[in-house]
Amino acid sequence: MQATILILCEDQTGIISAVTGFIHQRGGNIIYLDQHVDQQVGKFFMRIETDFKDENTLSEDFKKNFEQELAVPYEMKWRIYTTDDTPKMAIFVSKYNHCLYDLLSRVKSGELDVSIPFILSNHKDLEYVARQFDVPFYWIPVLKDKKAEAEEQQLALLQQYQIDFIVLARYMQIISPGIISHFPNKIINIHHSFLPAFAGAKPYHAAFERGVKIIGATSHYVTEELDEGPIIAQDVTTVSHAQTVSDFIAKGRDLEKIVLARAVQLHCNRKTMVYNNKTVIFS
């Protein structure tokens, strides 16, 4: 059985040797290892992929011993995931369908190893897309005077389906602090600009007015500060004075699909770690 281990701790000597030795002593074969040291803050980040011939090795005793022998002495924050841990992803959408179609197609083709228990929207417009892919669809309107009620319904669904993370595929509502607190660094948004430039609701219009020569898309984890969360993936494309706002939007939507899918893939593959509102993205 294969497993992925993520580690964050203070930088100090002997960490790699201690971790790899622990795995070797238990019959594990390390098939990938990547590490990074943030020298400014003195933090050590590591991602290891391992293969254990005996599936029983990854028992509660393994985790208990790892905690006692490594995590406590090195003051580690760590997580372990096995190949059986297929994440459950909820998709939130509003009226734009391009990112939704792209994600559903990638999951259906096997490109994204994730399950989608449901799609949630504050409008009914995209229910037909959910039916095409045989995914349950829930309509929860977010009315100005009933936002707390909507949040309760959303949380109930997320808990009912034991959702691991949420993807905002152009969901045009601000996520409440209550939901963010239940899913820290587990809500992925796609913003239609190269953040931190042109945050807000109409970045393509703002970029057009500014006369920029490139436009971009940014996928980031959601925090309570709007469009300020840790960035996972970004990309850009060129534009010119001869193009209209509509041209910007059309080119941007292609970028949005690609960047969001890349961020979801990185998250599902356990290749992201967050610290100080920044991400370490492993190769």
Distances (CA, A) of 141 to 123, 180, 224: 6, 19, 21
Do the bridges between strand 187-191 and strand 165-168 make them parallel or antiparallel, or are there none, so unpaired?
parallel
Within 8 A by CB and 6+ apart from 138, the residues are 118, 119, 120, 121, 157
Any catalytic annotation for residue 227? yes
Q: Domain 89-281 belongs to what topology?
A: Rossmann fold (3.40.50)
Per-residue model confidence (pLDDT) at position 143: 87
Average pLDDT rounded to a whole number, residues 35-46: 95
- The CATH number, out of the four listed (3.20.20.100, 3.20.20.70, 3.30.70.260, 3.40.50.740), of the domain defined by the range 2-82: 3.30.70.260
Delimit the domains of the chain by residue range.
2-82, 89-281
What is the band of 203 on the pLDDT scale with cuts at 50, 70, 90?
confident
- Record the tokens describing residue 274, joined without a space: 């967050």
**Closest to 234 measured CA to CA, from 252, 251, 216, 248:** 216
Lowest-confidence range among 8-12, 51-55, 274-278?
51-55
Within 8 A by CB and 6+ apart from 282, the residues are 34, 36, 47, 271, 272, 273
Per-residue model confidence (pLDDT) at position 199: 73
Is the pLDDT at 106 greater than 90, yes or no? yes
Which is catalytic among the residues 227, 235, 247, 254? 227
Per-residue model confidence (pLDDT) at position 15: 95
Evaluate whether 203 touches 225 at the Cβ level (below 8 Å): no
Per-residue model confidence (pLDDT) at position 17: 95
Is the pLDDT at 55 greater than 80, yes or no? no
Is the pLDDT at 61 greater than 90, yes or no? no
Per-residue model confidence (pLDDT) at position 248: 85
Per-residue model confidence (pLDDT) at position 147: 86
Per-residue model confidence (pLDDT) at position 58: 75
Q: What are phi and psi of 163, to 5 degrees?
A: -70, 140
Per-residue model confidence (pLDDT) at position 181: 95
Lowest-confidence range among 29-38, 77-86, 132-141?
77-86
Within 8 A by CB and 6+ apart from 59, the residues are none
